Structure 1
Amino acid sequence: MSLRYAYNTNGLTSHRLSDALTFLADCGYAGVALTLDVVHLDPFADDARRQAEQVRARCDELGLGVVVETGARFLLDPRAKHEPTFVTASAEGRARRLAYLRLACDLAEVLGAEAVSFWAGVPRPGVDRDEAWGWFVDGVRALVDSHGGRSYALAVEPEPGMLVEDCDGWARLAEAAPGIALALDTGHCVVAGAYAPEEAVTRFAPSLGTVAVEGMRRGVHDHLPLDEGDVDLPAVLRALREASFDRLVTLELSRDGHRAHEMVPRAMETLRKAEAAA
Structure 2
Amino acid sequence: MSLRYAYNTNGLTSHRLDDALAFLADCGYAGVALTLDVVHLDPFADDAFAQAERVRARCDALGLDVVVETGARFLLDPRVKHEPTLVNPGAEGRHRRLAYLRLACDLAEVLRAEAVSFWAGVPQPGVDRDDAWRWLADGVRALVDSHGGRAYDLAVEPEPGMLVEDADDWARLAAEVPGLTLALDTGHCVVSGRYAPEQAVATFADRLGTVAVEGMRRGVHDHLPLDEGDVDLPAVLAALQAADYQRLVTLELSRDGHRAHQLVPRSIELLRKAES
Scaled by the length of structure 2, the TM-score of the pair is 1.00
1:126, CA displacement in angstroms? 1.0
Q: Distance in 2 between matches of 1:261 and 1:144?
A: 38
Corresponding position of 2:131: 131
Q: Distance in 1 between matches of 2:148 and 2:169?
A: 20
Please list, as runs of the form range in 1=range in 2, the aligned pairs for 1:103-182 lying within 5 A after superposition: 103-182=103-182
1:160, CA displacement in angstroms? 0.3
AA in 2 matched with 1:87? V
**Residue 55 in structure 1 maps to residue 55 in structure 2:** yes
Corresponding position of 2:239: 239
Corresponding position of 1:200: 200
CA-to-aligned-CA distance 1:206-262 (integer Å, 9 cap, x gap): 000000000000000000000000000000000000000000000000000000000
Q: Matched residue pairs, number?
A: 276
CA RMSD of aligned residues (A): 0.3
CA-to-aligned-CA distance 1:119-154 (integer Å, 9 cap, x gap): 000001011100000000000000000000000000
Q: Distance in 2 between matches of 1:149 and 1:245?
A: 20
Structure 1 gap ranges (5+): none
CA-to-aligned-CA distance 1:66-106 (integer Å, 9 cap, x gap): 00000000000000000000000000000000000000000
Runs of 4+ off more than 4 Å: none
Corresponding position of 2:226: 226
CA-to-aligned-CA distance 1:25-67 (integer Å, 9 cap, x gap): 0000000000000000000000000000000000000000000
CA-to-aligned-CA distance 1:151-210 (integer Å, 9 cap, x gap): 000000000000000000000000010000000000000000100000000000000000
Scaled by the length of structure 1, the TM-score of the pair is 0.99
Corresponding position of 2:44: 44
AA in 1 matched with 2:128? D
**Residue 260 in structure 1 maps to residue 260 in structure 2:** yes
Corresponding position of 1:5: 5
Q: Secondary structure at the match of 2:38?
A: coil
Corresponding position of 2:16: 16
Percent of pairs with identical residues: 83
1:267, CA displacement in angstroms? 0.3
Corresponding position of 1:249: 249
Structure 2 gap ranges (5+): none
